[in-house]
Amino acid sequence: MTLHVYGIPNCGTCKKAFQWLGDRDISYTFINTKEQPPTRPLVEEWVEALGEKPLRNTSGQSYRALGDQKQDWSDEQWIEAFAKDAMLIKRPLFVKDGKAVMVGFREKESIMLEKLG
């Protein structure tokens, strides 16, 4: 099975992750979430695996536009929001063998990705 990386091509964090993966010859398939938004069942799996809080892209305009009520949302409400607007999902999101394994990218914390490659 392959590593799938979900994100958008112009995301700076995604670009760093792509470079890091390439430098280590770790093969992956990139899924552009603007062109291929994740389905609700897929989002449900990601929330089950990682939790809704780590999946939140809190630095984006979509997140800020939600207003203060988002602070009290349930997992179900977050799943619905993520499924409607993929820009709410933190990038990049790494999925190995169909299971979400990591969201976001920091080089010093990416040792786990080397094991997945």
Q: Is the pLDDT reported for residue 2 higher than 90?
A: no
* DSSP helix/strand/coil, 21: helix
* Res 29 pLDDT > 80: yes
Confidence band (pLDDT; 50, 70, 90) for 42?
very high
Q: Please report which confidence band the pLDDT of residue 19 belongs to, taking 50, 70 and 90 as the band edges.
A: very high
Which DSSP category does 115 fall into? H
Q: State pTM to two decimals.
A: 0.90
Owning domain of residue 50: 3-116
Give the start-end residues of each E strand in the chain: 3-7, 28-32, 93-96, 99-103
58: buried, middle or exposed (CB in 10 Å: 19+, 13-18, 0-12)?
exposed
Please state, for a pLDDT cut of 90, what percent of the chain lies above it. Answer: 84
* CATH code of the domain covering residue 65: 3.40.30.10
Distance of CA 101 to the CA centre of its chain: 10
Structure confidence at residue 108 (pLDDT): 72
Per-residue pLDDT of 70-116, as tens digits, reads 999 999 999 999 999 999 999 999 999 999 999 999 877 666 666 66
Tally of domains in the chain: 1
β partners of residue 4: 29, 95
pLDDT (0 to 100) of residue 72: 93
Q: Give me Rg for the CA atoms of the chain.
A: 14
